[in-house]
Amino acid sequence: MTDAMWAGTVAVTGHEGADLEAYAARPLDSGPHGGVVVIHHMPGYDEATKEIVRKFAAHGYAAICPNLYSREGAGVSPDDQAAAARAKGGVPDEQLVGDVAGAAAYLRGLEHANGRIGVIGYCSGGRQTFLAACSLQLDAAVDCYGAFVVTPPPAEFPLKAGPLISRASDLSCPLLGLFGADDKFPSPEEVAELDAELTKLGKEHEFHVFPDAGHAFFSVDRPNYRPAAAVEGWKKVFGFFGRHLAA
């Protein structure tokens, strides 16, 4: 057993054969390792998200975060890519699904992979995690405060992000949901509605709404960071992936 890891930029094939930049990290021991696809938040493929990828590797997973804004050009800084993608209305749902599928295929192809794949996403990536889990065959999914899963965005929002609750019957794997009680997007009412729908459908899920926490409470580099919720939230994440992604 060693805690050494490899981490760096790799290339993966995304939706419709697109070349995507991605950041991957994996333990150097002989495994076997479960795989985790990390979906970055709307501000993009940033340093804090890469740190999350390394955190999974430190806990024994092979992890990868595809840069969902790779199509905005190679060699363009991630913040400029994010602004350009935003100006186009964000990432289309079918493209997201294809990109996550490509990242999952990369993980499945690694030596020492155990073949099990989890997905985790934050903010807009939380909604996209739910979308991926309703579109692809996965083993576990973690939605961190994804909005617009139940309720549509206000009419003036130009983003191509409609509600997904009608897709809930297609959920392919257990879902862990981590939310803040003070969040408005998604509100606790929206979280409760999704919880009830999944219960009605008999879909395995586990939701936690943390007190004194709002949106983005995991973001260590933002003022909304809430250590108590984040520390407890990470415990839930590793417990959940430990149960569902073990060989």
* Helix (H) and strand (E) counts in the chain: 6, 8
- Beta carbon nearer to other proteins, 20 or 138: 20
DSSP alpha helices (H): ranges in 62-141? 78-87, 93-108, 124-135
Stretch that binds other proteins, among 11-19, 31-39, 158-166, 231-239 (CB under 8 A): 158-166
Nearest to 41 by CA among 53, 52, 49: 49
In the complex with other proteins, which residue's Cβ is closer, 124 or 135? 124
**Binding-site string for other proteins from residue 184 to residue 203, where x marks contact by CB under 8 A and - marks none:** xx------------------
Our measurement of the distance from residue 156's CA atom to the centroid of its chain's CA atoms, rounded to an integer in Å, reads 26
Rounded CA gap, 123 and 142, in Å?
Answer: 11
Output 42 or 165, the one with its CB closest to other proteins: 42
Two tokens, residue 185:
């997007």
Among 216, 229, 230, 245, binds other proteins (CB under 8 A): 216
Task: Give least dist CB 246 to other proteins, A.
Answer: 34
* Sign of the torsion formed by the C-alpha atoms of 194, 49, 22 and 243: negative
- Looking at the DSSP bridge assignments, the partners of residue 21 are 11
| Count of residues making up the chain | 247
151 binds other proteins, rule: CB under 8 A:
no
Dihedral-angle region of residue 145 (phi above 0 means left; psi in -120 to 50 means alpha; beta otherwise): left
Q: Which C-beta is closer to other proteins: that of 59 or that of 86?
A: 86
C-beta atoms surrounding 184 within 10 Å: 11
Restricted to residues 30-69, the positions that interact with other proteins (CB under 8 A) are 41-44, 46
Question: In DSSP terms, which residues pair with 10 in a beta bridge?
Answer: 22
Q: Which is nearer to other proteins, 161 or 164 (CB)?
A: 161
Tell which positions 217-246 bind other proteins, by CB under 8 A: 222-224
Smallest gap, in angstroms, from Cβ of residue 219 to other proteins? 9
Answer for which of 6, 11, 16, 87 binds other proteins (CB under 8 A) is 87
| In the complex, least distance from residue 46 CB atom to other proteins, rounded to whole angstroms | 7
Binding to other proteins by residue 147, rule CB under 8 A?
yes
Amino acid code (one letter) for 141 = A
| Interface with other proteins (CB under 8 A) | 41-44, 46, 72-73, 76-77, 79-84, 86-87, 90, 123-124, 147, 153, 156-159, 161, 183-185, 215-216, 222-224
